[in-house]
Every structure is written in structure tokens, then in C-alpha cells.
Structure 1
């Protein structure tokens, strides 16, 4: 018997400290207008000293569990998408598992940078579909502020810290429904390692024995992002026999307002049907989609039965999409 994964709750956490564009302009040669025009970003949240990725992930996970009405002890799978783990090992997911008081199942990290949440959702969805797990937490948690070069104005203005999470539950009835049924309809993930030098961190335990800093060729990333995410969106719609007109909400990775608007236009969605948080959160990598989702669910925009399309692209390059009925 096959199952379908239902999203039964979502949660979010943002560090208390907010850094505005004006405050960044005091540290590096930039200004508020330059950042807003090119990225849409006005501010970002920065983790406090001693506040780790697992701390953010635990807070978001608890929020999602509360929303779902699920006890931590019922979870039998935790997938944490992150590029900024607490340590080289063990997996940050295992620290989250322990702190939540989850006594069973599996917990592991997924590393696909900004596509991490879509990758994590895909992995967990497949576990639930075949009955290998019944209730899962998928978490995107990042402290990108720890890997930024704060003298590089082309990158340090773009990123922020945060975490988002969803609870997935396996459901037999939904699996027999057609495209109108609730749950995760399909996920689509891709990668192409030939573009490594366009977006990477210049450190690691095997190469430099240091954490390193994020390096990016912005124009190259932008060019590929628009094309690759469009391909992933087309794949999701085609797999489910749907058209852009069927989509109620675009919940995109929050990297750059220009990319987000480009995808909205491609789907012919009005701007008020595209969830945008990049102005307040900046790019939180794997956390950006669940953070945006939680906000739109929390304020009532997303309603039961709505068709949601998620898409992302990150270093690697990695990219992907997910289509789900709320």
C-alpha cells in the first residue's frame, strides 16, 4: 500500500537580532538603495553569539509540532537541510532529535544549499510514501552569517539566519486521490556539479581544515537560476497534468526579488499570489521556503485545498521543485 505525505503543521524561528541595510552600510561600502534595488532586501536576522543552527532548528520544529498537534515522541524521521551544521559531525539533525526528546527512528542532514528544503522534503516524502516512516519533521535551518566574508559587499548583504520546519504525516486515503487530493503531489530534484565555481565556500575539513567563506559569481548564478527553476516548475506541472493556471500560490526560495518576480510572471500569477519574505529575511538558504510557507499559512493567505508550488536553486548547482495541495 502506497501512502501520500500530508503537511499537517509548519513552524518558524528567526533570531532576535535584526540588521538593517543602513547598519550594514556602516560596516561595508554599500547603501540601502543599492541593496533594495538589486535584491529587494531591507533587513536580515542574525543569530546571537552562541546561538547555533540546532538551536534555530529546535525552535522551528517545536513550532511545527505545536501547529500539527503532534507530540515529539510520535516522530520517526527527522531530515534537517543545512549548509551550516553545528559541527562537521554528528549531523545537526541528531542534536535536534535529542533535544526534542525523540527516542526512535532516524535523523540525518541533507546538504543541497538553498535547494536543501526541497531536497529534504523529497527524501522524507519518499520515506513516507513506501511506509518506512509514519511521521516526519523536515527542517531547514541556517546560520549563514557564520560563513560570510563581512568585507565582501557583493555577498554579505544577501544572507540572513533562520529556520523553518514542517510536519509530514503518511496518509493512505490521500494516496488514492487524484491531483485534487491533499498532500505532496510530487517532488523533482536536480544537480549539475560543473558549476561549482559560481557559488561555493572556500573551506572545509578535507581541503583547508577551516570553515571558509561564501564566494559567488552573482550574474552567473542569476542566469542559471531563472532557467533551471523554470525547468523544475515545468516538470512538476507536467508530472501532475496541471497548468500554470492551476497554481494558487508560488512559495519560492527567497534569494532575490528579481528572480522571484520572474518566476511569478512565468506562471502568470498576480504578485499577491507569490509569497515574498526576502525583504525582511534576506536569503536564509534552506530555511527560506519553510519560513515563507509558515508566514503565509499563519496569516491566513494559504487555505485548505490551495495548490502550492515551491522551487529553489542553490550552490552545486542544485535545484528542484515540489507541488502540494494544502
Structure 2
């Protein structure tokens, strides 16, 4: 079978210390974990078999290069998530961070999908009542959400990711990250609701997962770092999309975890609305509710995805239309529910 990375969004569950020590220590390198669906069947017209194979090959390549980069270092025996955490504060470890973060994002992307149904065009009937209500409150309709997310992706003229996220209050929003930027790790906390193995991830000996270096009080420097391979470097701010851009305090983890913050405040006005004037804030938004946001799904804005799917260099828009046929709305809804209960029912921690 093929491989991918499995992550959960919304809550960070502690590692189960009852796992056999021999099983933990026997996994020296980032080994592949099978996808939850057969690669031979593909993902409809969004990622037909050759394209899904390309996505998995990219994942394998990221992990192979990560293994080489961390050889002989403390990260050689840590998980992908832990590698992201450990290298995020060190500009000398930028390449390792890039490989690990991209592998984390790509795994999460693949894990929120499933093949289209044999009958019907999509899995929208699996959306929970609570999530659908939240979408309608923020966007007016599911159709408008799709339009806003597509506009976000089409407005990106560089590599990156478009994320559909929520906070613990249930407000939803759309956020872009660029290059290897991720929303899966925030403030030394893994924000996934499903604490499974990332593709190539390893289990960690009990106790080690919490032993992280102290968070620095200032952001990582922006000085020149070692050269990065194509497709792994951070890029300029989003082009072609107009949305509020409010300054915020520096993130203690530095620019690698930074993203332009924007949040919907009115129905039918997504963060990628073409309106030049931001609507007045009438309720708590991502700018006021704090730092805890939980990714529900993401879309990669990398050319190899739509080209390998047969859409050509300029086929991004047609490719994006097919995304909605394979979204696993049952899983997304479960993650949304977990996020709502996270504030009271879960203890967030590092991994």
C-alpha cells in the first residue's frame, strides 16, 4: 500500500506510555505508514492514481531528505512533529525544519480525504449540524465557503497551503501559509485532533516527548541561512487577495510559524472578499480570542499536484473544483467537535 502522514487536528492527546518499549526503539528512521485508502484507486478526478502516486512519492522524498539532514543529530531518533518543534527556533536547522514541516502538512492534507462515493458527487451529507451551522454563519452557505477557499488558493502565486480552521469558540476561518509554514504546531503544541503517526513518524519513549528546549523570548532571527531546495523556502505575502492585515505581537517560535491572520466577521464575506474595506468587528475574532486555532483541512498550492492530475500548468482552478468531491466531511466534522470541547476537556501538550 501507499503511504501518507496521519495527524489529528484540534486536540493534543498525550502519548500512550503503555506501548512496548521494544516497538518504540526499533524504529530508527522515518518509515512510511500506509494511506487509509488504496493508491491504485486514486482520489477521483482530484488525484487520480498517477497523481496520488506523485503525492506519495513527494512525501517519501521529503522524509528521505529529512533522514539525511538529521543523521547524527538529536533529531535522528525523534518524531517528525518533534523535529518541527526542535528545529523551529534554530536558523541553522532551517533545512531540517522545512522537510519535516512539509511532510507534516502533506500527510495532514492526504489524511482528510477519501475516495468519492460510488453514488453521488461528494460526501457533503456527512457534515455535522454544528459545523454546517458555523459555516453558514460565517460564509452564508457551503457554496460560499468553497468559493472563498478557491479564491484564496487561486490568489497565491507562490507555493504554500490554504487552511480551513476553527477556534475553541467554533468560529471558522481561512488562513494561508507559505512554503513550509504550518498551522499544525502552535506555541509548542501539536494542534491535531487525531494523535496518529505522521507518514514516516516514530513513537517516542515515554517522557521524552515533553522534554523540549525552553521557548525563547524573542523570534528566531531572519539572517541568511543555508540554501534551500526549490519548493521549500518561505515566500512573499499573498498576492491577488484583499483582506484585513492586522499587526500582531511576534510569535515566540519565530517567523517559521507565522501566518497572515484574518478571520471572517460577516456572513458571505470571506477573508478573501474583494471588498477593499474590512467589515467592523461585531463578535470575537481570531484577532481577539487568542492563539489557539485548530486546522480542519488544508489544500496544497504546489504545481506538481494539478500537473500530475492531468490539468496542465494552468489547470489549478479546474483542479480545485474537484477537491470538494473527496473531502472527508465526517472526519472534518469530528475534528470540529473536538476543537469545541478542547478548551474544557483536553490538556494540550507537546509531542
Bin of the TM-score, shorter chain as denominator length: under 0.3
- What TM-score does the superposition give when structure 1 sets the normalisation length? 0.25
- What TM-score does the superposition give when structure 2 sets the normalisation length? 0.23
User: Per chain length, whose mean CA-contact separation is higher, i.e. which structure has more relative contact order (CA < 8 Å, sep 6+)?
Assistant: 2
